Structure 1
């Protein structure tokens, strides 16, 4: 794991991190190991982003799994710990709460667009980049909350894989396996799986899971119950749906729905 950024994990440190179970003040770099860091809090707002690899951040609200393009806002005073996958690159941006009003009251995942991602990466290379930059804060707080952050879903290009993808986009509850799909299309299951992997960068099973989860967001936003949503999008159990949803979005479907309702009323 490589940690980069302004403040806690970079050269321009603002504020301090405190181990949550003690009053000892400790700089972030003393807490971070190759696999993560224990529970602590900051006296500054912090945005965490992993442009490479995946990190899991645990807060009182639950676990947040972050991989590009998802990032996580941690309001000042939020207890959190983190686990890093091997070879992850972690960027952290701190902001003074006295100077910047964060629009989120609790840990909130957001989707970063291409322009903001490039801006954050450029800051790791720019020796003259300012810490606690107001323009950067404005750009980061204008990004879309996870409510609108569908999972990336590249489309396959070969004929058989494209046919499978088209059907699943219309009918995510289709239960056919890759082998069954291959038999119906008169191709080998090996070539069909390879097509999904090479043309989308995602295994067939993961591609289908993303279709189902993306489809479920619309149903949840309409007020459908979690169990009904799980069945409608093709999960064989409600628990399996909840586990997959939390793994990809860092929240349970119920918590996601509650957050959406709070933002709407706010």
Structure 2
């Protein structure tokens, strides 16, 4: 994980969110402070896409923790101070991009639910025996996907992974954890424990996040809020609106208007 351009925040004296290219106090460039278990707060002069094909790590920025797993990666824009903690068995893959050549669609650290295409690309670059350079096509693939999605770790055990796969194909499936468990010849308690242990989320929380993420694409396609609520599995439109506001801080209608303004800008 040693990277030549890591810089400590104390050395840069630069506040979060400021232009990483702006002049400031002389910066210390030093790889020695990076340990096997992580590294303290520092700043990159480049954009970084962090992926963890094995294990888990936690990246902390601006007082917020971001947990990375084989299904959740992270974009760290240039100039954003952050630190990291690594699990002992974790494998961390870092793709870096020069901010002068590549512009991110966001300015804050952003979680990415890793798609099959992104996973295949990242693993193929790991297997390559040649030095891999930053590439506009690679950057485009890693930037694909909805920018506002909620982080959604994928379970790995047989039962939970089966349920997750079915729900991803049909988020509106109304079956309860007990009904899923019965069909898989396990107990609802075991299934719920598996979701909690493998994703860090309760089954109901995981399903709600999945449904809300799916609803973002339907809203972007121009569907009415009531139609979206029904298609992703909410019993009522009001229940969908309340859940959407709780996770995204605004109603679906307000979100659609803001997204339209953001796109136009």
- TM-score, reference length from structure 1: 0.61
Contact 1:156 1:196 in 2 (8 A): no
Query: How far apart are the structure 1 equivalents of 2:153 and 2:73?
Result: 13
Is it true that 1:209 corresponds to 2:209 in the alignment? no
Query: How far apart are the structure 2 equivalents of 1:41 and 1:195?
Result: 41
Distance 1:75 1:85, change over 3 A: same
How many residues of Structure 1 are paired with residues of Structure 2 in the alignment?
216
1:147 aligns to what SS in structure 2?
A: coil
Distance 1:99 1:261, change over 3 A: same
Q: Deviations over 1:27-71 (max 9, x none)?
A: 4x4232222111111111111111112211111272211212221
Is it true that 1:141 corresponds to 2:143 in the alignment? yes
Is it true that 1:26 corresponds to 2:39 in the alignment? no
Counterpart of 2:58 in structure 1 is: 56
Q: Deviations over 1:163-218 (max 9, x none)?
A: xxx9x95277xxxx97xx89xx7xx9x7554567789x959x84343123334557
Distance 1:42 1:126, change over 3 A: same
Query: How far apart are the structure 1 equivalents of 2:141 and 2:61?
Result: 24
Counterpart of 1:245 in structure 2 is: none
Query: How far apart are the structure 2 equivalents of 1:62 and 1:149?
Result: 13
How far 1:146 sits from its partner (Å)? 4.5
Counterpart of 1:246 in structure 2 is: none
Structure with higher RCO (Cα < 8 A, 6+ apart) = 1
2:161 aligns to what SS in structure 1?
A: coil
Counterpart of 2:249 in structure 1 is: 254
Supply the RMSD in Å over aligned alpha carbons: 4.7
Distance 1:195 1:46, change over 3 A: closer
More displaced stretch, 112-121 vs 148-157: 148-157
Q: Which runs of 5+ in 1 are unaligned?
A: 243-251
1:88-99 to 2 correspondences below 5 Å: 88-99=90-101
More displaced stretch, 129-138 vs 98-107: 129-138
Query: How far apart are the structure 2 equivalents of 1:216 and 1:102?
Result: 24
Counterpart of 1:154 in structure 2 is: 161
Query: How far apart are the structure 2 equivalents of 1:21 and 1:114?
Result: 39
Contact 1:102 1:141 in 2 (8 A): yes
How far 1:25 sits from its partner (Å)? 2.0
Is it true that 1:69 corresponds to 2:58 in the alignment? no
